[in-house]
Amino acid sequence: MLRSTQEDDWPRVREFRIENATDNPVSWAATLEETQRIPDEGWKMRARRGEQPDTTSMAAIDDETGRWLGMMCAQIGDAHGPEPVLTGVYVTPDARGRENGVTDALLASILSWASSRDQTVLRLWVAEHAAPARKYYTRNGFVPTGRTQDLRVLGREPHPDDGGLVEMSRPLTADALPGAPEH
C-alpha cells in the first residue's frame, strides 16, 4: 500500500529514518547519532510533509505486516530553483529491486504529485558514487543537469572518497510519466 504520511506517523518516520541512517548515512545525509538527536517536533514536521500543499511524503507499507518498505518525499523548489525536488529517498534493502516494484511505485506517485502542480520538470540530487541509484534514475528518464555540489553528511567530517552530489532532472510531460503510451 502507498499512502501519504501524516503527523501521527512521526514515530514510524523516525524509526524508518533511523534504519536509513544505519544502512546508508550518505543517502540520509546524517549519521545515526545526529538522526537520533532530532527532537520529536522535528519528526512530526517531517511526517506532516504528506499533508502540506508544497511538499509530499509517500510511504510504501506492507499490507500484511504494516512494515514500512520505502519512502520518498518531494518539495516545490530549493536553493537551486523553483521546480519540484525529489528528496528523502529510501527503500529498505529487502524491498529493493525491480521485482519488488516498491521504488517504481513510490517514484510514480511523486511524479504524479509534481505533475499535478503544473510543473514541467522534477529534479533530484544523487551521490556521484551511488551507482545503483544513478542507474535507476537514468533508467527512469533522469539526466544530469551539469550542476554539482559538495556532499555533506551531518555529524561527520567529509571523507575523501565521498565524492559529491550530481543534480539530475526529468520532464513531467504527460508522455514522460510512467504508464504513458510509448511513441
pLDDT computed for residue 66 by the predictor: 95
- The x, y and z cell numbers of residue 145, run together, are 543537469
pTM of the model: 0.90
Residues 166 and 148 sit within 8 Å (Cβ to Cβ) = yes
pLDDT at 45 over 50: yes
Distance from the first to the final alpha carbon of the chain: 31
Question: Which residues lie closer than 8 Å to 153 by C-beta, 6 or more apart?
Answer: 25, 26, 29, 30, 31, 162
Tell whether the torsion through CA atoms of 105, 50, 3 and 152 is positive or negative: positive
pLDDT tens digits, 70-129 = 999 999 999 999 999 999 999 999 999 999 999 999 999 999 999 999 889 999 999 998
Least confident of 29-38, 121-130, 153-162: 153-162
What average pLDDT score do residues 129-154 get? 93
| Angle separating helix axes 10-23 and 40-48, nearest 10 degrees | 100
Q: Which residue has the higher pLDDT, 180 or 172?
A: 172
What proportions of the chain, in percent to the nearest 5, are helix, strand and coil? 40, 30, 30
Average pLDDT on 20-30 reads: 84
**What pLDDT, on the 0 to 100 scale, is given for residue 175?**
56
- The rounded distance, in Å, linking the Cα atoms of 4 and 54 is 13
